[in-house]
Structure 1
């Protein structure tokens, strides 16, 4: 073990002891050494090791982890991450399919598998429930008046000047009495040409 690695390990042990307010002992012995390196000191390390040895086996087993156990835990954690990524990717795929269907392009519904159609149906039902709950909240007596106010003309003008974008995945319901858009202004008329003499 190089002196740099040894120094880093001892520094980490000291940090662990300080930050976690626990007693830490480190014993290192390399093949070329005649005596092990002990931190913080031999009496303190001996006391910590004796206290550990006197613990019941159930406590030791709970906190002891060999390399195989570490790898098993790591594999299980990675397996969960992969499963979560698969779910996230499936959700993205379904969102893209719904988006394509809203735009009138993409795959034909008749060509989709029953499992995919069930997933799409589940997503759409969830979104409809969220939209319905939101509408009910906004129409309830407890909704803040600020949320119910119609948009100001300036907001509509700004919105109408923005470049067109793809329709949203969840279409907001129309609110009764709210303007759909600003009336379009008539195109400016061409200036009258004066006859040239």
Structure 2
């Protein structure tokens, strides 16, 4: 894994100039590669500390042509998806708030399920320290679970096959069991 470099101002002048020249050379090389690989026109203007004229790539004349061509492009209609930084950050914050709320609800649901689990396994003392809001949430969860169970049972009963009908030509009376010499016997009487 590449090591992250801490970005900060380099206080030593000669080190800073050397680093600037090295990075500038790399930037110009990347701009040239981008122009070749993508068949695009690229230019780079870099203003060095203490110098009035910028470093220009590929040349001053070519850079001026590219910039003039860019300035002469017609104003594009704003894209539906385009947004400024403020609206982007606002949307991102809203999404994060939604995620936090969702996670909070999942956490509360898990805590309530755990309380119900403990209660069902014989520890009703867990309800003693709860406030009214927590008790209300537990009650609501019990209601939701009971409704879910009722709906499942109704669905199962509606999907169950009807009992098989018995086709008999005679009535059978099973009678009551009788005791004969210490053993139980069932007498069937056919009528």
Q: TM-score, normalised by structure 1?
A: 0.46
Q: TM-score, normalised by structure 2?
A: 0.47
> Which has the larger Rg?
2
Q: Which has the higher contact order (CA 8 A, sep 6+)?
A: 1
| Bigger share in strand | 2
